[in-house]
Structure 1
Amino acid sequence: MSTPKPYKFLDDDEVNLTSMVREGISFPYLTKLSNYIHFNIDDWASYLHLSERTIQRYKKENKTFDPIYSEKIVMIELLYKKGIEVFGDENKFYAWMDYQSIPLGGVKPKELLDTAFGINMIRDELGRIEHGILA
């Protein structure tokens, strides 16, 4: 029995990322990412400001997500890539995302994934952690 291939995060090449976002993220891609970062449809519905039913329709109709939603998916994926790099272990990063953070206003970082500002706040906090600047 072969072991599953490890998840390969996107590269940070902004030209390729821009093209990918414009073309739209496919539902199978979202599913693969979801399995790796432990998100379910309910999580994505919250972060993308879509109903579960709308997300299921993307799946049923084999549609790619519109650029506005694709961009958010890519931003979240890149954030998780950075977080795992900073923490050196995916489980430590996942635990941190579910733990209330005083520097982030006393909320769980995962609760901030529904806005670009929130994603940027988490990225900034990861930068501080990476450089040893703890609040």
Structure 2
Amino acid sequence: MVSDFEAIYEIRREVSKRAPDVKDFTFTKFKKIADKSPFTLNEWADLLYINERTLHRYAKDGSGFNGLQIERILLLETLIDIGNDFFGKEGFRQWINSRPFSLNGASVKEQLTTHTGIEDVIALLHRLEHGISA
């Protein structure tokens, strides 16, 4: 008779946040996310494919973002929250500028130009949380 141990894994289920309406997502909400991130306003503009002056105009007018920009901001917020929790704010800032082996020499920041790249970096952070480097 063969006996094997039973591994019990904890499954974390994150409660799905309801996406805000486009009209409800103002610069104020964006600013709360941006304040906890390692990105400058100019870097945020690049990540959202807009001009930094547009972000300043959004701040001045109190106007909102379009749906695609909101989706990207919320995805980046997920990345920021995971990174800050795992590395700490300053450690995450340093890691964002690094070139981890598991990204084949590409910098983390370079991966954030596409939706898929952001998801890949989030997946990498989850693997690192569990001690899997590659």
Report the TM range for the smaller structure's normalisation.
0.7 to 0.9
Any stretches of 5+ residues in structure 2 without a counterpart? Answer: 1-13
Q: Measure, in 2, the Cα distance between the counterparts of 1:70 and 1:21.
A: 9
Q: Measure, in 1, the Cα distance between the counterparts of 2:30 and 2:92.
A: 20
Question: Where does residue 112 of structure 2 map in the other structure?
Answer: 113
C-alpha deviation, 1:54, in angstroms? 2.1
Q: Measure, in 2, the Cα distance between the counterparts of 1:99 and 1:15.
A: 30
What SS class does the counterpart of residue 39 from structure 1 fall into? coil
- Give the 3 Å change call, closer, same or farther, for CA 25–108 of structure 1 in structure 2: farther
Question: Where does residue 45 of structure 1 map in the other structure?
Answer: 45
Aligned AA (2:16): E
Question: Where does residue 122 of structure 1 map in the other structure?
Answer: 121
Any stretches of 5+ residues in structure 1 without a counterpart? Answer: 1-11
Q: Which runs of 4+ in 1 moved over 3 A?
A: 21-24
Q: Measure, in 2, the Cα distance between the counterparts of 1:52 and 1:84.
A: 24
C-alpha deviation, 1:114, in angstroms? 2.2
TM-score computed with the length of structure 1 as normaliser: 0.77
Largest Rg, 1 or 2:
2
What SS class does the counterpart of residue 37 from structure 1 fall into? coil
Q: Measure, in 2, the Cα distance between the counterparts of 1:79 and 1:36.
A: 11
What SS class does the counterpart of residue 44 from structure 1 fall into? helix
Between stretches 73-82 and 31-40, larger displacement belongs to 31-40
The count of aligned residue pairs is 121
Q: Measure, in 1, the Cα distance between the counterparts of 2:17 and 2:130.
A: 28
C-alpha deviation, 1:25, in angstroms? 2.5
Identical counterparts, % of pairs: 30
Q: Measure, in 1, the Cα distance between the counterparts of 2:84 and 2:53.
A: 31
Q: Which has the higher contact order (CA 8 A, sep 6+)?
A: 1
TM-score computed with the length of structure 2 as normaliser: 0.77
Q: Measure, in 2, the Cα distance between the counterparts of 1:112 and 1:35.
A: 21
- Give the 3 Å change call, closer, same or farther, for CA 41–118 of structure 1 in structure 2: same
